[in-house]
Amino acid sequence: MHKTRHVISRIIKDSIAEELGMEPGDELLKINGQEIKDIFDYQYLVQDEYIEALIRRTDGEEWLLEIDKEYDEDLGIEFENGLMDDYRSCHNKCIFCFIDQMPKGMRETLYFKDDDARLSFLQGNYVTLTNMSDEDVERIIRYHLSPINISFQTTNPDLRCMMLHNRFAGQALMQVRKLYEAGITMNGQIVLCKGVNDGAELERSIADLTAYLPHLESVSVVPVGLSKYREGLYPLEPFTREDAREVLQCIHKWQEELYPQYGLHFVHASDEWYVLAGEPLPEEKRYDGYLQLENGVGMLRLLLTEFAEAMEALDEQDQTRYAGCAGELSVVTGKLAYPFLQDMVRQLCERFPALQIHVYAIANEFFGEQITVSGLLTGQDIIRQLRGRELGERILLPQNVLRSGEDYFLDDVTVGDMEKALQVKVDIVKSSGHDFVYAVLGR
């Protein structure tokens, strides 16, 4: 069987590992005589006050290090592979999978479908449970890894098998009961597909999932994302305004029923439903502390709340400092957030009349105009649609248009490429109302 090597990439200064003479390139073989499968085994085994670590040096020599330390004190080492194991890919063929709807020729990493429960704990990814063995579930319970984020789609076993194109997908739902009985905190997701798992099926799914309260803290309902590259895939249709209103009516009914008993609204609609339905966003307290921001649940409400706080926090000193704030700039976003950014800019310009701010909504021509979120905008679409427009001295773009920690877009266009093409400075702004206000004011 393939076994991942745990090669040390970095030694933390003044750490136990440095004191013991460990070096980058050394390989961790065992702790207390036990082989290590992944980062969770490592973190669990190094907690004790006394441990024995077996190290293989770069010259092949093996050291058995006897280590006395404080309980829960780390050794001070980092590994070449942060997970300390291979990432598990998804073998389902879900009818709604966005990766299957991507064009050819993009970065190879964009086509990787992860379905790893460990990444659910570490990074918030959603998993289908179809990749998990009984041993995996037992390790989650033993190490009490939570929260775990689960892609339910439906609680109808036969329908789930069809939607995931996996004959074991219905049976995998039994793992939820084990996690619930062990007290593991969970969050859920339902990707809603018109005519498939909506209507009565959505009602059934929500009703079934309430049985896992309070350990299942939230369930988000998000509309399926449909790109223009769906040839040969399961035929799915976009939701209409009337469809969106029916979905919201169902969700609001369950919120009103569950909140008095659990103090949680439990089931939440992503922001797209409110925009599509033409209905106002819920007030902040309805989001139960924003448990599912990464799923687009409450992102717009949080943005507006933070913006209002930032505007109110501009005290007299700030007001004087920025009273003469002038200049011309552009704010760029996707179609979903456009009307909200427009209103925020209007308020800023009323407060600082010398500012001239253009707000541009970029249509997603790359993936298709059904995709309205800013996080899936490409550099080439932004450049093409801004070329020749009044841009001012700089462009503000939300941070989620870039790959995390990098300076390039989904299509590998870099920030530098964009600045060169448009001959204007590009400022990347964190997805926060506070940061937006201060970025506009040049602070």
CA distance 135 to 129: 12
Domain match, 28 and 175 both: no
| Bigger pLDDT: 269 vs 406 | 269
Domain match, 135 and 249 both: yes
Whether 116 is covered by a domain: the verdict is yes
pLDDT > 70 fraction of the chain, expressed in percent and rounded: 95
Domain match, 255 and 155 both: yes
- Residue 347: alpha-carbon gap to chain centroid: 30
Q: Which domain holds residue 432?
A: 303-440
Whether 86 is covered by a domain: the verdict is no
Task: Look at residues 45, 79, 113 and tell me which one is the last residue of a structural domain.
Answer: 79
CA distance 282 to 53: 53
Domain match, 149 and 187 both: yes
Domain match, 425 and 308 both: yes
Burial group, residue 218, by CB count within 10 angstroms (0-12, 13-18, 19+): buried
Averaged over 269-286, what is the pLDDT? 97
Domain match, 229 and 370 both: no
Short-list 411, 230, 143, 405, CA closest to 428: 405
Whether 89 is covered by a domain: the verdict is no
| CATH classification of the domain holding 430 | 3.40.50
**Per-residue confidence band for 325, with pLDDT thresholds at 50, 70 and 90:** low
**Per-residue confidence band for 320, with pLDDT thresholds at 50, 70 and 90:** low
Q: How many domains does the structure of the chain reveal?
A: 3
Q: How far is CA 288 from CA 255, 279, 321, 413, 419, in A?
A: 11, 20, 37, 37, 40
Domain match, 260 and 313 both: no
What pLDDT score does 121 carry?
64
Q: How far is CA 345 from CA 9, 359, 434, in A?
A: 46, 8, 13
Residue pair 67/45 in contact (Cβ under 8 Å)? The answer is no
| CATH classification of the domain holding 54 | 2.30.42.10
What pLDDT score does 321 carry?
65
What pLDDT score does 122 carry?
66
Give tens-digit pLDDT for 135-149: 888 988 988 888 999
**Per-residue confidence band for 414, with pLDDT thresholds at 50, 70 and 90:** very high
| CATH classification of the domain holding 244 | 3.80.30.10
Whether 88 is covered by a domain: the verdict is no
CA distance 46 to 30: 11
List helix spans (H) across 314-440.
316-321, 338-351, 379-386, 415-422, 433-440
pTM of the model: 0.85
Give tens-digit pLDDT for 338-385: 999 999 999 999 988 889 999 999 999 999 999 999 999 999 999 999
Averaged over 245-249, what is the pLDDT? 98
What pLDDT score does 87 carry?
76
pLDDT value at 322 more than 80: no
Q: Collect contacts of 261-265 with beta carbons under 8 A, ≥24 apart.
A: 262/213, 262/214, 264/213, 264/214, 264/217, 264/218, 264/288
Averaged over 296-310, what is the pLDDT? 96
**Per-residue confidence band for 1, with pLDDT thresholds at 50, 70 and 90:** very low
Q: Read out DSSP for 394-422?
A: EEEEEGGGS-TTSSB-TTS-BHHHHHHHH
Give tens-digit pLDDT for 152-197: 999 999 999 999 999 999 999 999 999 999 999 999 999 999 999 9
Domain match, 268 and 359 both: no
Give tens-digit pLDDT for 15-42: 999 999 999 999 999 999 999 988 888 8
Domain match, 341 and 431 both: yes
